[in-house]
Structure 1
Amino acid sequence: MPAAGLDRDAIVRVALTQLDEVGLEALSLRRVAKDLGVHPSALYYHFTNKQELLDEMARAIIADALNLADAPHRQRWDDWLVFLARTQRRAVRTHRDGAILMFRSRPTAADQLAYLDTLIQLLITDGFTAEGAGRAFSAVSGYAIGIAAAEQQRANIALDPAVLEKIGAHSGFATIAEAAAAEDAAFEHGLHWLIEGMRAELAAAPSNSA
């Protein structure tokens, strides 16, 4: 029997708080149960294992970061990939170890799977092959999550004066650090390069050149 007043959302919210406090590796169902004031077995009514909890946590941070007001008004592949990238980056940056969580989670919920079906079909309709559509999604999603992880890591490095002193005098690092300092602009520029590369490849495809 489920514990009174305990549901999946309550567990996920406590788990996200724990994520920020102790990080992903230290997060456990036992620790979450302790904060909820229940026996660990009570959580297994809602989640079979830690992986299922991670899946739901990742889904929750995307939902929290989702701004439907920014959603594309046109059914264009590039608009939707840009929207995907911006949403994923925003989500990852809201929590400690957000990038690792996203990479370790699985899109198991019905709405997540339906979204992926819709997005891939949109890409195919607009000229991508099925393989190309999968690669386009992976490239944009990987870029968004990866750049957010790098941004968070840079913030950690900036807190250590010894590290900055050691590497700050090197021109290569200084150039990269300067370029990355304006995080939003750097992210948008990289995303633009990705999308433009896809546009160029689509335009050069035999079916689009006739």
Structure 2
Amino acid sequence: MATRIDRAQVAETALRLLNEVGLEGLTLRRIAKELGVQAPALYWHFKNKQELLDEMATEMFRRMAGSLRDVDTGTWQGFLAGSARVVRDSLLGYRDGARVFSGTRFTDTGYASPVEEMMQVIVEAGFTPKAAARAWFTVNTYTMGYVIEEQSVYPVPGGERDPAYELAERALRLEDYPLAVEAGEAFFNDLDAGFEEGLHAVVAGIEATLLPPSARGSAGSSPGVE
């Protein structure tokens, strides 16, 4: 009797295999083998790899949605920063997680409710809906871009640093370029601290450029990021 599979099984299997083989090694043939079916069986559900990535990203968001709803809404700055940390932590749980998640399209409307709630928090702080959307999009793209970079330094979740990013060796190669060496220390040394510093700058920039001046006095100040 043939094994019956559905979209959810394929996406879950793909996410599990992602940590083993990475995005480049994740093929429909490899997933089919793991499921014990022939590769053509997957084409009933996904026409190509991009459709599979869309479903994987949708499942990733489903898994992080509960944590996003638990973020403290005491200040809009803290809420944006806390949401960014949830996204980052989630993406870091998958090898190439940020590359899979970025640039994909959700395959259902399940994202709409948590996004509506997130937008509501920011709008109630005094942002216009358009500015609230821009604020969230800016924080989100900063987070995904940062995670893409840090996953090049530590490709496997919980794994070792890629030798290409060993800072002592890099400093020797660039000994005639002291500022480039200093930049590398800032980029690739303490990735947690680097994320927080950049996040603080992004949130402060959002306050300075997107929050109406009339709302700044009552909405809190940038230290709410902490």
TM range (shorter): 0.7 to 0.9
1:185/1:99 Cα in 2 relative to 1: closer, same or farther (>3 Å)? Answer: same
**Corresponding position: 1:184 with 2:192:** yes
Instruction: After the TM superposition, list the runs of 4 or more consecutive aligned residues in structure 1 that deviate by more than 6 angstroms.
Output: none
Deviation at 1:166, TM superposition (A): 2.5
1:130/1:65 Cα in 2 relative to 1: closer, same or farther (>3 Å)? Answer: closer
Deviations 1:162-185 (A, max 9, x none): 972433663223212322412111
> How far apart, in 2, do the equivalents of 1:138 and 1:77 lie?
14
1:168/1:131 Cα in 2 relative to 1: closer, same or farther (>3 Å)? Answer: farther
Q: Which moved more, 1:200-209 or 1:182-191?
A: 200-209
Deviation at 1:205, TM superposition (A): 2.6
Residues 94-173 of structure 1: matches in 2 within 5 Å?
A: 94-155=93-154, 158-160=162-164, 164=170, 165-167=172-174, 170-173=177-180
1:85/1:108 Cα in 2 relative to 1: closer, same or farther (>3 Å)? Answer: same
1:49/1:195 Cα in 2 relative to 1: closer, same or farther (>3 Å)? Answer: same
Deviations 1:35-90 (A, max 9, x none): 21112333244445433321221233345556739923436432332122112211
Q: Which moved more, 1:92-101 or 1:141-150?
A: 92-101
Paired residue for 1:12? 11
**Corresponding position: 1:205 with 2:209:** no
Q: Which runs of 5+ in 1 are unaligned?
A: none
Normalising by the residue count of structure 2, what TM-score does the alignment of the two structures yield?
0.74
Q: CA RMSD in A?
A: 3.3
Normalising by the residue count of structure 1, what TM-score does the alignment of the two structures yield?
0.79
Identity across aligned pairs (percent)? 34
Paired residue for 2:59? 60
Paired residue for 2:49? 50
The answer to whether the 8 Å contact 1:34/1:40 transfers is: yes
- The higher-RCO structure (CA 8 Å, 6+ apart) is 2
Amino acid at match of 2:185: E
SS of structure 2 residue aligned to 1:191: helix
> How far apart, in 2, do the equivalents of 1:176 and 1:70 lie?
36
Paired residue for 1:34? 33
The answer to whether the 8 Å contact 1:179/1:186 transfers is: yes
Q: Which runs of 5+ in 2 are unaligned?
A: 156-160, 218-226
SS of structure 1 residue aligned to 2:23: coil
1:168/1:16 Cα in 2 relative to 1: closer, same or farther (>3 Å)? Answer: farther
